[in-house]
Amino acid sequence: MARFLTAAAIALGAAALIGWGTPTAAEGGPERCPRFIAWQGGQVVPAAYESLAREESEVAITFVGHATFLIESPAGVSIATDYNDFVRPDDTPMIATMNRAHRTHFSTAPDPGIVHLLPGWSEDGEPARYDLELGDVWLRNVTTNIRGRGGATVRDQNSIFVFEVSGLCIAHLGHLHHTLTDAHLDALGRIDVVLAPVDGSFTLDTAGMLEVLQALQAPVVIPMHFFSQGRLEAFLAIMADHGFDIVRSDTPRIRLARSDLPDRPAVLVLPGR
């Protein structure tokens, strides 16, 4: 990760970067994220085919703000997460994912240039299901529930979107309201980078989010959906207490390859809110 965190490396010092390098899981080259189809007949069913391994290249991840990231593949496919009418990337993405807990996570007037606009919910009461390949990106989703009025549970109205790009498995948790079951974790499979809401109230409380992140075992956590610097710092302090390295970037855009993943789990802080 030193390639895109040069300024952070200088600030932290060389000792703080010990343990960063190529994890054992990546030694055989890029491994496709395990393909699963979530909630088919109430079961998690593995897909019946495999894809060819692809040459590892760097993926660009930009924190646009709130819960929106711009993910750009080596082949030029662009994805905006939790695309909405208030916080958007400067350029029109090819793929836009959305969630519906609040207006800051979906759009009522999406850019007509978006090729694939993917709401993380379905209007018919059934879970939304996506299994999409575009260029060098494979996208899928695992649905979770949200809190409705009066604390009622509204089923399958949030999606955790998973993007496989150049051997990296990137998961965006959306507006997650509850911890994950074993079935969720099986459906998600291997996650390398998790984009996690850390507000501690509107989504999960801090203890719940810590439980989710420990269960996912992703090498890199990138925080999002926090409403003050104080809230972010409180989250980082708890993560540090639980064995996560804290690395701060001085730019909201980083480039990452699977060979850059750390041996120790790390929280990578991108500037913005």
6-48+124-269 maps to which CATH number?
A: 3.60.15
Residue 23, burial from CB neighbour count under 10 angstroms (0-12, 13-18, 19+) = middle
Q: How far apart are CA 197 and CA 68, in angstroms?
A: 11
What pLDDT, on the 0 to 100 scale, is given for residue 4?
43
Per-residue pLDDT of the chain (273 residues), as tens digits, is 544 454 333 233 332 332 333 333 334 434 457 644 333 343 433 333 233 233 458 999 999 999 999 999 999 999 999 999 999 999 999 999 999 888 889 999 999 999 999 999 998 878 999 999 999 999 999 999 888 777 788 888 899 999 999 989 999 999 998 999 999 999 999 999 999 999 888 889 999 999 999 999 999 999 999 999 999 999 999 999 999 999 999 999 999 999 999 999 999 999 988
Antiparallel, parallel or unpaired: β 116-119 and 95-98: parallel
What pLDDT, on the 0 to 100 scale, is given for residue 197?
95
Whole-model pTM: value is: 0.82
Q: Is the dihedral of CA 248, 249, 254, 257 positive or negative?
A: negative
What pLDDT, on the 0 to 100 scale, is given for residue 43?
41
Q: How far apart are CA 104 and CA 178, in angstroms?
A: 19
What pLDDT, on the 0 to 100 scale, is given for residue 160?
97
Q: How far apart are CA 206 and CA 219, in angstroms?
A: 19
- What the block records as the tokens of 66 is 């709130």
What pLDDT, on the 0 to 100 scale, is given for residue 90?
96
Parse the chain into domains and list their residue ranges.
6-48+124-269
